[in-house]
Amino acid sequence: MLDVARRFRPLPELERFIDLLAAHGLNVLQLHLTDDQGWRFESRRYPQLTEVGGRRSASQLGHGPNAGLDGRHHAGHYTQDELRALVAYAAARGIRLVPEIDVPGHAKAILAAYPEFGVGDPAEVAARNREPWTRFGITDEVLNAEAATVAFVGDVLEEVVDVFGGDLVGIGGDEAVKSRWEADPRTHELLAERGLANGHELQAWFLRALADRLGRRGVRILGWDEMLEGAAPAADAVVASWRGPVGAGLAARLGHDVILCPDLWTYLDYRQSDAPEEPIPVGTVLSLEDVASFDPVPADAPAWFSDRVIGVQANVWTEHLDTRERLDYAVFPRLGAFAEVAWNGRPAAGFESRLPGYLDWLDARGVDYRPLAGPRPDQQRPGVPGVPRSREARLAELARLTATLPAE
């Protein structure tokens, strides 16, 4: 998965990225097309999504409380014709593009364009969302749950299906904070009308309405494991489990197809060592060796689990990857180890012995990978703060976050 919402990447760069994925034997690229910070998909019915939602005046520089703004305008989107051509380009190389439109959270770019889809008075929503978010993190801003809002998202998803074809569309579902719904009298009316108990059930209702609409076109939804809070939105939904093993186990027990992308092994934006030279260090340490040690479905896993796992996925979030070179630095050579895990379904044993040849291969293609010894001076970001985290702290947070998933 590549996040082109935080950082728009021009089409020739996406084509190059697809060429590199194909050379690694990878066969799916999920395009994360929308987020708080930007909307990149041309909707002909809702042109403000890109006109307003596709541009921001600045971007956060670094992470954490001491991060400032870079003061640089950022804009871009893909037309439907461009995306159709990209789908064909990828297909010719054996790669399926899976689009993702992230709702009901991660929606500030939508609300900047169409504040009537937010919670509360549209004038206040507009005042809070004059443009897509220039900051990074999790916001409490969500779409409202009116029928008209669900219909709007459904209309956009119809356009997405027309462009991308295929039988799978990502609808997000991650990190949607429920506090605005819970504080809003109108949302309480909707809960009562629909016989729903709380925000988790409302999110399930919202996503189920989208799943039903896409289902009429023979398309299944793909969503992050938060999708299972409340109730599973659709029996055939595909669940991408990113917050440790809990969501994956629950999804498999409920009979869903599961994609494994646990952040501690597959988040390629996470820092590659604990050296202070790592550029804008975020997340836990995820070294090349750590990726190579990823064991997605251990040999002793029960069949009810292993039978449901349809693949693994590496996620490339781009808050701090603002150029092609920085993207290369984060992705390579870790993607080489990940690709071996993906092909074989087990850790990439002996990957070090194949590394010299692999690095030569990357060199020959002009890939600006991270040298094994650490970042070159031009790959560092001196003075730009990050938020490094320990594995223990992240494990404790994951336990807390996944505690809201139903037990069965």
By beta-carbon proximity to ligand ACM, the closer residue of 264 and 362 is: 264
How far apart are alpha carbons 76 and 78 in whole angstroms?
7
Q: How far is the CB of 172 from ligand ACM (least distance, A)?
A: 8
How far apart are alpha carbons 249 and 68 in whole angstroms?
40
Q: How far is the CB of 224 from ligand ACM (least distance, A)?
A: 4
136 binds ligand ACM (CB under 6 A): no
Q: How far is the CB of 242 from ligand ACM (least distance, A)?
A: 5
Q: How far is the CB of 362 from ligand ACM (least distance, A)?
A: 26
**Please, which residues have CB within 8 angstroms of residue 75's CB and are 6 or more apart in sequence?**
8, 54, 55, 56
8 Å CB contact between 14 and 86: yes
By beta-carbon proximity to ligand ACM, the closer residue of 111 and 227 is: 227
Total of chain residues touching ligand ACM, rule CB under 6 A? 4
DSSP-assigned letters across all residues of 38-99: EE-BPPSS-THHHHTTTEES--EESSSTT-EE----EE--B-HHHHHHHHHHHHTTT-EEEE
Strand partners, 388: 283
Q: How far is the CB of 60 from ligand ACM (least distance, A)?
A: 17
By beta-carbon proximity to ligand ACM, the closer residue of 87 and 221 is: 221
How far apart are alpha carbons 318 and 171 in whole angstroms?
19
One residue of 140, 174, 201, 307 binding ligand ACM per CB under 6 A: 174
Q: How far is the CB of 43 from ligand ACM (least distance, A)?
A: 23
Q: Cα separations (Å) of 258 from 240, 298, 310?
A: 6, 15, 6
Query: H/E element holding 272?
Result: none
> Considering 131, 175, 201, 277, which one is annotated as catalytic?
175
By beta-carbon proximity to ligand ACM, the closer residue of 13 and 175 is: 175
Q: What x/- string results for residues 240 through 279 when contact with ligand ACM is judged by CB under 6 A? A: --x-------------------------------------
Residue type at 17 in one-letter notation? F
By beta-carbon proximity to ligand ACM, the closer residue of 115 and 244 is: 244
Helix, strand, coil percentages in the chain from 3-state DSSP, rounded to 5: 40, 15, 45
By beta-carbon proximity to ligand ACM, the closer residue of 36 and 257 is: 36
Dihedral sign, CA of 294, 280, 19, 84? Answer: positive
DSSP-assigned letters across all residues of 302-356: -HHHHTTEEEE--BB--TT--SHHHHHHHHTTHHHHHHHHHHHSS--TTHHHHHH
Q: How far is the CB of 134 from ligand ACM (least distance, A)?
A: 19
Which residue is closest to ligand ACM by CB? 174
114 binds ligand ACM (CB under 6 A): no
By beta-carbon proximity to ligand ACM, the closer residue of 136 and 242 is: 242
DSSP-assigned letters across all residues of 211-226: HHHHHTTT-EEEEEGG
Task: Name which of 330, 392, 385 is nearest 7 in CA terms.
Answer: 330
Residue 61: both structure tokens together: 């520089």
Asked if 175 is an active-site residue, the reply is: yes
Give helix 80-91 / helix 147-164 axis angle, nearest 10°. Answer: 50
175 binds ligand ACM (CB under 6 A): yes
Site for ligand ACM in 199-238 (CB under 6 A): 224
Q: How far is the CB of 71 from ligand ACM (least distance, A)?
A: 27
**What's the distance, CA 316 to chain centroid?**
8
By beta-carbon proximity to ligand ACM, the closer residue of 115 and 296 is: 296
How far apart are alpha carbons 241 and 154 in whole angstroms?
24
Catalytic positions, written as ranges: 175
Q: Under the rule (CB under 6 A), what is the footprint of ligand ACM?
A: 174-175, 224, 242
